[in-house]
Amino acid sequence: MNKYLSFFKIRLTNGLQYRGAAWAGVATQFVWGGMTLLMFRAFYQNGENSLPMTFPELSSYIWLQQGFLALYMAWYFDNDIFNSITSGNIAYELCRPIDLYAMWFVKNMAVRLSRAILRCFPILIVAVFLPKPFNISLPCTPVAGLMFIISLILGFLVLVAFSMLIYISVFYTLSSLGIRILTTSVVEFLGGAIIPLPFFPQKLQTLVMLLPFASMQNTPFQIYNGYIASSEILKSVLFQIIWLGILLKLGKLLMQQALKKVVVQGG
């Protein structure tokens, strides 16, 4: 366990060095979040009654999304991992007395976490002081706040476990190009990054909620803003745990299969 922890630490401290890039990222995400909210406000000004989310709920959702973007961004992949498979360097990794799945997992976690740590605080702190209704409100109950943190971590793990499947698929296809763009757009869309899931048509929504993507950013953010009622919180967190279990199991299984017949690319 210790060796994975030190991998994690190395990557984390490495990632924390890029502070200049982080400030630019904070500014970009801030404008992005603001523009998104302005767009939604224009729609809300129609004064229709059947709104899927209230505007303060939406504000909290959007700011959390921008603040924790690095945790849930679907387009980030570690190119070193892809290269090690296609170039054959994977052979060295296989010689080491480590579990490849666990190592890739912690590496991915560390990179995302380091970016999120640098970016989330400035964004969220400023977002608290924005004029109503554009600000992020506090979690509706202390319990919701606590469950938000648990769910945030679980959702993060679900996403990383899912992206592991993409890395593993390259053992079979040797090219990451198509599958990366494909999964990125599917995960973004069905995960609620483009528009929040409650804005989906009803029937589609019921289906999408069952997929693992809804257990990524959707669950924690909707717990925070109170969209998921307190009686439903436990159920949705349980759902996250189930998906995490399935994805982890599947990933390990596929990895074993792949390593059994891995062809080390020469060179």
Q: Which residues bind another protein (CB under 8 A)?
A: 20-21, 23-25, 27-28, 31-32, 35, 38-39, 42-43, 45-46, 48, 50, 52, 175, 177-178, 180-182, 184-186, 188-189, 194-195, 199-201
* Whether the bond into 133 is cis, omega within 30 of 0: yes
User: Which residue number, 8 or 52, has a Cβ lying nearer to another protein?
Assistant: 52
Instruction: Provide the minimum distance between the beta carbon of 179 and another protein in the complex, in angstroms, as a whole number.
Output: 8
Q: Nearer Cβ to another protein, position 190 or 244?
A: 190
Minimum CB–partner distance for residue 115 and another protein (Å): 12
Min dist. Cβ of residue 250 to another protein (A): 24
Considering the complex, state which of residue 87 and residue 173 has its C-beta at the smaller distance from another protein.
173
DSSP string, the chain: -HHHHHHHHHHHHHHTT-HHHHHHHHHHHHHHHHHHHHHHHHHHTT--S--SS-HHHHHHHHHHHHHTHHHH-SS---HHHHHHHHHSTHHHHHHSSS-HHHHHHHHHHHHHHHHHHHHHHHHHHHHHTSPTTSSPPPPSSHHHHHHHHHHHHHHHHHHHHHHHHHHHHHHHHS--HHHHHHHHHHHHHHHTSSS-GGGS-HHHHHHHHHSGGGGTTHHHHHHHTT-S-HHHHHHHHHHHHHHHHHHHHHHHHHHHHHHHT------
- Please report how close the Cβ of residue 201 comes to another protein at its closest, in angstroms: 6
Q: What is the smallest separation between the CB atom of 5 and another protein, expressed in angstroms?
A: 30
Q: Minimal distance in Å, beta carbon 87 to another protein?
A: 17
35/234 with CB nearer another protein? 35
Least separation, in Å, of the C-beta of 222 and another protein?
17
Instruction: Round to whole Å and give the CA distance between 20 and 26.
Output: 10
Nearer to another protein, 38 or 128 (CB): 38
Of the pair 22, 168, the CB lying nearest another protein is at: 22
Name which of 146 and 182 has its Cβ closer to another protein.
182
